[in-house]
Structure 1
Amino acid sequence: MQTNPTHTSLVAVGDSFTEGMSDLLPDGTYRGWADVLAGRMAARSPGFRYANLAVRGKLIQQIVDEQVDVAAAMRPDVITLVGGLNDTLRPKCDMVRVRDLLTEAVERLAPACERLVLMRSPGRQGPVLDRFRPRMEELFDCVVELAAKHDAVVVDLYGAPSLGDPRLWDVDRLHLTAEGHRRVAAAVWETLGYPPEGAGDAEWRTPMPVTPPPGWGARRVADVRFARQHLFPWIGRRLTGRSSGDGRAPKHTELLPYPGAQG
């Protein structure tokens, strides 16, 4: 791994995790770990350029069809690829096909950049993760195998128990909070070989401070709100074949100077 690198461009590929949900900004848009990472890289590299092609709800086939060739054509210094988890959460999932498509994506992206970044994504502690854990771990095994074969790096977020803490996850129980995204950005920063810039960089693996758990009543209220606002609509989209990303364009479609980057 390069130590103290100076990358001049970054393209992010994936789904809602990379789009930045649920790191909500005051204007109603999402920031997320990729934007945070790009801002930090831009502060070290004059003229730094960034694109984020990720769109919520995308399956690995859609990522391959809609994002991979676009990212490869940009030929940036760094490409991040996170995909396949939406597939593993579907009632029916062909893991052989998911692995084949992820392999195809890596084979196209690895030659198009100096450093390809893959991830073992974080998972919230709870019964949902336990139900889908075998599929997720099969996906992550594939990620590790592909990284070794194509000289990519793997950010092991799944192996960091701190990121499974429910307090780092939004009320939808599927997406990280702003603090969760900040920790992911710090993890990628470290994996790329950049030196720590503060105490926050070193603590992304550190568990959250212990606090008294919420009472039974508060947990039941949270469960009802989660079911009404998130679980039932999610089930409805699965039953009707719809996605939260249908008709939605990526937020940064072109490889352009990052706002605030030095010229």
Structure 2
Amino acid sequence: MSDDVYLRYVALGDSQTEGLGDGDDIRGLRGWADRLAEQLAVRNPGLRYANLAVRGRVAAEVHGEQLGPALALRPDLATVVAGVNDLLRRRFDADEVGGHLEAMFGALTAQGARVATVTFPDIARITPIARPISSRVIALNQRIRAAAGRHGVAVAETSHYPVVTDPRLWTLDRLHASPLGHQRIAAAVAHALQLPGSDDSWTHPLPPPEATPTGWHSAAVELRWIANFLGPWLARRLRGRSSGDGRTAKRPHLLPMTGVLVDNPERD
């Protein structure tokens, strides 16, 4: 286990790190990075935490908009998770995306921060219609691993385990983790960092579902997903819009953790 004591944690990224799927914009978003900060604060009560992530951002935007502010906060721990929005764009260049991620890894580690990131699951195993981008996921994960290796970045290999594509770990839009999914991502990153008390239990499968959907039910679910999520997403793309337009980071400053929650969504 790691003996590092982290007191300044900064999270960079997009909607997953912002916490979409875990809470809402009215009550507030929690998300895996908040959950990781909560875990760190239990051991290190002096922890201060900033979350610079903004939904809809591609890797170039995370690099251009968030790296400078992150460096100014001088974190001793940083997480960098970006690239999913790039995967979904019509034009995708794995080398370009990997280059932005590596630039962030390099700058943060050069300043002395411990950095962690994640690899991504095959989206086609969550949404069959996304099968054409499976090769993109593989290519991006290869770049992430290589860049992380060059800079001593801890990698939570979420792409390796079948449980990460269990529908119960995802919201109805299939792009954002559910509260249980965010809990598993937080546990995966804690394990990659070798935090005290972390283990590989996040890789374990969930209990079998109580009922298996029939063919007709599955078809109806797919149609509702296309109407309620894919259609609006495509409409935004055609208009050149993003879900993050006009939004800023939810927690741009290093602040103490208050109201730390220690829960287990798997028992809810």
Q: Give TM-score scaled by structure 1 length.
A: 0.91
- Give secondary structure in 2 for the equivalent of 1:223: helix
Aligned-pair identity (%): 39
Shift of 1:186: 0.9
Shift of 1:97: 2.1
Looking at structure 2, the residues matched to 88 and 58 of structure 1 have their Cα atoms a distance apart, in angstroms, of: 12
Shift of 1:214: 1.3
Deviations 1:189-220 (A, max 9, x none): 111111326xxx54210111122321233323
Give aligned pairs, total.
257
Q: How does 1:172-251 map to 2 (within 5 A)?
A: 172-196=173-197, 202-211=200-209, 212-251=211-250
Say whether residues 1:18 and 2:25 are aligned partners.
Answer: no
Aligned structure 1 segments of 4 or more residues deviating by more than 4 angstroms: none
Looking at structure 1, the residues matched to 191 and 94 of structure 2 have their Cα atoms a distance apart, in angstroms, of: 30
In 1, are the aligned partners of 2:10 and 2:79 still within 8 Å (CA)?
yes
Deviations 1:175-199 (A, max 9, x none): 11100110111111111111326xx
Shift of 1:46: 2.4
What code does the residue aligned with 2:225 have? F
Shift of 1:257: 1.1
What code does the residue aligned with 1:204 have? W
Looking at structure 2, the residues matched to 202 and 101 of structure 1 have their Cα atoms a distance apart, in angstroms, of: 29
Instruction: Give unpaired runs (5+ residues) of structure 1.
Output: none
Instruction: Give unpaired runs (5+ residues) of structure 2.
Output: 261-268
Q: How does 1:121-132 map to 2 (within 5 A)?
A: 121-124=120-123, 125=125, 126-132=127-133
Q: How does 1:140-155 map to 2 (within 5 A)?
A: 140-155=141-156
Q: Which moved more, 1:71-80 or 1:130-139?
A: 130-139
CA 1:113 to 1:22, structure 2 compared with 1: closer, same or farther past 3 Å? Answer: farther
In 1, are the aligned partners of 2:94 and 2:143 still within 8 Å (CA)?
no
Deviations 1:38-84 (A, max 9, x none): 01101111221000011111011111111011111111111000111
Looking at structure 2, the residues matched to 27 and 89 of structure 1 have their Cα atoms a distance apart, in angstroms, of: 27
Shift of 1:222: 2.0
In 2, are the aligned partners of 1:123 and 1:158 still within 8 Å (CA)?
yes
In 2, are the aligned partners of 1:87 and 1:98 still within 8 Å (CA)?
yes
The corresponding residue for 1:94 is 93
The corresponding residue for 1:115 is 114
Looking at structure 2, the residues matched to 202 and 156 of structure 1 have their Cα atoms a distance apart, in angstroms, of: 11
In 1, are the aligned partners of 2:21 and 2:178 still within 8 Å (CA)?
yes
Shift of 1:245: 0.4
- Give secondary structure in 1 for the equivalent of 2:29: coil
Q: Which moved more, 1:113-122 or 1:136-145?
A: 113-122
CA 1:113 to 1:17, structure 2 compared with 1: closer, same or farther past 3 Å? Answer: farther
The corresponding residue for 1:8 is 7
In 2, are the aligned partners of 1:5 and 1:193 still within 8 Å (CA)?
no
Looking at structure 2, the residues matched to 151 and 243 of structure 1 have their Cα atoms a distance apart, in angstroms, of: 33
- Give secondary structure in 2 for the equivalent of 1:43: helix
Alignment RMSD:
1.9
Shift of 1:123: 4.0
Shift of 1:223: 2.0
In 1, are the aligned partners of 2:9 and 2:50 still within 8 Å (CA)?
yes
The corresponding residue for 1:252 is 251
The corresponding residue for 1:71 is 70
